[in-house]
Amino acid sequence: ALLSPTCNDTAVEEAADLALRQINADRKEGYILSLYRIFSVREQPQAITGSVFYLILDVVDTECHVLSRKLWKNCAARSAHQTVYGQCRAIIYINQARNIAHLNTYKCILQPVPPRYISTICPDCPVNACPTGPEYLEAAVQSLAKFNEESEQTHYFSVLNVTRASMQWVVGPSYFVEFLIQETSCSKNDTIADISKCKPLSPEVAKIGFCKGSVINSDLENQQFVKISCEIYNLQ
């Protein structure tokens, strides 16, 4: 028989936490999902021991990329106008006595906040844009050049792909990007004219990184202000 425990039951909260951890660990792209609330739950106690939980979880994405492998509770939530909302349906078997938590199946559907809503709550906020636009790739390349120049890594990194992009008019067009980078075969001991010509190292040994960069063009001062921060991951 299916039981209907309350959503704030300790066992249910633990099941939701374990399910979301395993969902995030399984995902290969995008951002780590955080639990917004438990929408519904059914529990099916098993004949000998343990229970199967049928969960519907309301989730939001965070600022951590899935490749960071961080726990969702350790990831900062995005501000309301940047958030991607979604729902995950998950079936998980939990046996506390034997310390087993097995995610049988899951499916998540995500959708960003509609632009018309953003313009209502935050008319001056940067507007989300298509990350594949050439101006955003250019902003990623420009901000990565600063990282390559200043970092203590032994090899140059190149842009793998832009994962999120937005634009805002400040004192000129300003571009904000989040993107993945990959380690190349070009050593920083060599002078490289065009890093895009450097071949990536093989996936077995290459480090991957996640960066947040911005390029702010000031029409008044005829200047560019570039910022970059990156996390580097060893995925082996």
The model's pTM: 0.89
> Which tens digits make up the pLDDT trace of 83-107?
899 999 999 999 988 899 999 999 9
Round the average pLDDT of the chain to a whole number and report it.
92
Query: Residue 169: pLDDT above 90?
Result: no
Q: What average pLDDT does range 205-215 have in this prediction?
A: 95
175 class by beta-carbon count within 10 Å (0-12 exposed, 13-18 middle, 19+ buried): buried
Please list the alpha-helical segments (H only) found in the chain. Answer: 10-26, 115-121, 134-150
Distance between first and last Cα of the chain:
44
Q: What average pLDDT does range 124-150 have in this prediction?
A: 92
Rounded Cα gap, residues 188 and 153, in angstroms: 8
What are the angstrom distances between the C-alpha of 24 and each of 17, 54, 79, 106, 186? 11, 18, 20, 11, 33
What pLDDT is attached to residue 120? 82
Torsion of CA 16, 19, 21, 23, to 10 degrees: -130
Spatial contact of 110 and 85, defined as CB atoms under 8 Å apart:
yes
CATH 3.10.450.10 positions along the chain are: 10-117, 127-233
User: Which is higher by pLDDT, 118 or 43?
Assistant: 43
Q: What average pLDDT does range 129-137 have in this prediction?
A: 93
Nearest to 106 by CA among 70, 57, 67, 63: 57
Half-sphere exposure of 153 (CA within 13 A, CB side): 28
What pLDDT is attached to residue 236? 62
To the question of domain 127-233 being in CATH 3.10.450.10, the answer is yes
Please give the single-letter amino acid code of residue 170: V
**Residue 189: which pLDDT band, with cuts at 50, 70 and 90?**
confident
Residue with tokens 């990184």: 209
Query: Residue 60: pLDDT above 90?
Result: yes
What pLDDT is attached to residue 40? 97
Please list the alpha-helical segments (H only) found in 98-170. Answer: 115-121, 134-150
Pick the CATH number of 10-117 from 3.40.50.300, 3.10.450.10, 2.102.10.10, 3.40.50.620: 3.10.450.10
Q: What average pLDDT does range 188-203 have in this prediction?
A: 86
Query: Residue 115: pLDDT above 90?
Result: no
Query: Residue 119: pLDDT above 80?
Result: no
Q: What is the DSSP string of 168-195?
A: EESSSEEEEEEEEEEEEEEETTS--S-G
Radius of gyration of the chain measured on its C-alpha atoms: 22
Query: Residue 193: pLDDT above 80?
Result: no
What pLDDT is attached to residue 97? 86
